Amino acid sequence: MNKLKFIVIGILLSTLLSSCQEKKEEKVQQPNIIFIMSDDHGYQAISAYGHNLNHTPNIDRIANEGALFTHGYVSNSICAPSRAAMLTGKHSFKNGKIDNVIPYNWDQDNVAKRLQKAGYETALIGKIHLHGNPQGFNYSNVLRGQGQYYNPDFIENGKKRKYHGYCTEVTTNITMDWIKNKRNKNKPFFLMYHQKAPHRTWMPDLKHLGTYDDKTFELPDNFFDKYEGRKAAKQHEMGIFKHMDLVYDLKMLDKQKQINSPRRRQAQSKYNRMDSTQRAKWDAYYDPIIKDFKARKLKGEALAKWKYDRYIKDYLSTIQSVDDGVGELLNYIEKEGLSKNTIIVYTSDQGFYLGEHGWFDKRWMYEESFRTPILMKYPKEIKPGTIEDGLIQNIDFAPTFLDYANVEIPKDMQGESFRPILNGEKEDWRDALYYTYYEHHGAHSVQRHHGIRTHRYKLIHFYYDCDNWELYDLKDDPKEMHNLYGDPNYVEIQKELHQKLESIREKYEDSDAIDQKYIQEHLQQKREKDQAKQARRTNSSKK
């Protein structure tokens, strides 16, 4: 009897200890983190945001099973600086990557290095657009520079390698191979899965050519914006009608060379990467469009409408491949039972203009480029269908990932973890965002500017070789058509925003002196870059 008691007690103790151990292991288990980023994917082109341009069922799944962020923003709306901010958790003037010209310093701390030290298996696959060998990753396989849509060159762990196929699909295949076969499955993983698409020049996959040919797209109601009261906006070089190149951007590469383009050679180089089978299918689709365009001899408003229609259809078609890849990844995570303990985020390196104000591209602090999509799922903590309207910025990704991984957040990171507001644990969240843009003089002629955005108002200062201020009431004027700076009805609000701007610049340790330093660095780097480009052209012509 006594022997039976001891056996029973032993079993109970063993069960209890086992249960405690399982709870302990569950408590300290670090989540996998998959950070999906596309390039220039405007929130308007994700169907979860309700703009009815296209259908992205797989990207939408992330929001349906988790959270949709309605106020996600970047700190500098241009490719490389945005990625540097995401990696470091710091504004451009702190991490040193203010534009696409000045080099990025990989020796500085970043979120991948922190997670790697904490035991994570880390990988970076696709586009990063930061020159140099990526640091902080057990595995990297990244595009060279901007990358190419067809038969792209990658750099796998420092070695150049050319892949056959369509870039978006290639990036997904490399990602799936790593997650299935290359990672250490005894470790949590941090995966940065970054697509080139839908970056200019919006070359769709062959299987998605013509996806939107049966749909009629209406022009945005401010497509023919005259920019009254907005001096800086008048100086742009990103108009769909005036600046979008028929051959380079809109694929009108006619074999007779009758359509004029200063960028014909650049366009031709993209098609030269295709093999004969790819090119035959491409030409079979575009040649009839080219023939029809030449026959119509469009001008003025009719040409503007045609260019918009061609642009939006190509742009949205490239996104279909991005959505396909997201679906493949989500299905695998679900199938392998990894979903419950995996954080999945989808975002873009910034927003993008889809005809608003007559524009394409980004750079401005105006909403369409400043705002970026953010969708996130994590079944352990985020309720399906959550709508989050807090002011989130791309400098917040690094500290948020570290928070979920139970890794200490460095004090010099300027972003904040938004985990507490998703959990309803923090109501005292930030009330304003700070923005900077430096690349002037540069592509698209957008003036240097910085500014502040609250939930309702926005104050922007354009400077360097101008001194222009703009103020918007986003509740009454969400499309930012009416500059209220100097309006007597907004005197107090204007004063308050000026004070808030100075306060936030002080908080983030920005200043005019720092700005002047970067202006000189930018000019020097640009001179060196232009000289090197000219030298290559000279050598090429001699050959």
Each residue of 71-81: pLDDT tens digit?
999 999 999 99
Residue ending a domain, among 254, 273, 308, is 308
Question: Tens digit of pLDDT for each residue in 289-331?
Answer: 999 999 999 999 999 999 999 999 999 999 999 999 999 999 9
Give the span between the Cα atoms of 59 and 47, in whole angstroms: 9
Q: Are residues 298 and 240 in the same domain?
A: yes
| pLDDT at 6 exceeding the cut of 80 | no
Question: If we measure between CA atoms, which residue out of 455, 459, 523 comes closest to residue 486?
Answer: 459
Question: Tens digit of pLDDT for each residue in 136-159?
Answer: 999 999 999 999 999 999 999 999
Q: What is the pLDDT of residue 297?
A: 96
State which H helix or E strand residue 434 sits in: strand 433-437
Residue 341 lies in a domain: yes
Average pLDDT, the chain: 93
**Domain limits at 33?**
29-204+317-430
Residue 125 lies in a domain: yes
CATH number at residue 73: 3.40.720.10
Q: Are residues 69 and 173 in the same domain?
A: yes
Question: Tens digit of pLDDT for each residue in 500-531?
Answer: 999 999 999 999 888 888 878 777 877 887 78
Q: Are residues 396 and 346 in the same domain?
A: yes
Residue ending a domain, among 377, 410, 430, is 430
| pLDDT at 39 exceeding the cut of 90 | yes
Give the span between the Cα atoms of 91 and 488, in whole angstroms: 33
Residue 380 lies in a domain: yes
Confidence of residue 252 (pLDDT cuts 50, 70, 90): very high
| pLDDT at 335 exceeding the cut of 80 | yes
Q: Are residues 54 and 160 in the same domain?
A: yes
Q: Are residues 302 and 349 in the same domain?
A: no
Q: Are residues 359 and 259 in the same domain?
A: no
Specify whether the CB–CB gap between 393 and 368 falls below 8 A. Answer: no
Q: Are residues 67 and 96 in the same domain?
A: yes
Give the span between the Cα atoms of 289 and 340, in whole angstroms: 47
Residue 461 lies in a domain: no
Q: Are residues 323 and 286 in the same domain?
A: no
Domain count, the chain: 3
Residue ending a domain, among 277, 308, 339, is 308
Q: Are residues 88 and 176 in the same domain?
A: yes
Residue 4 lies in a domain: no
Q: Are residues 44 and 149 in the same domain?
A: yes
Q: Are residues 87 and 185 in the same domain?
A: yes
Residue 259 lies in a domain: yes
Structure tokens at 114: 């922190």
Q: Are residues 72 and 145 in the same domain?
A: yes
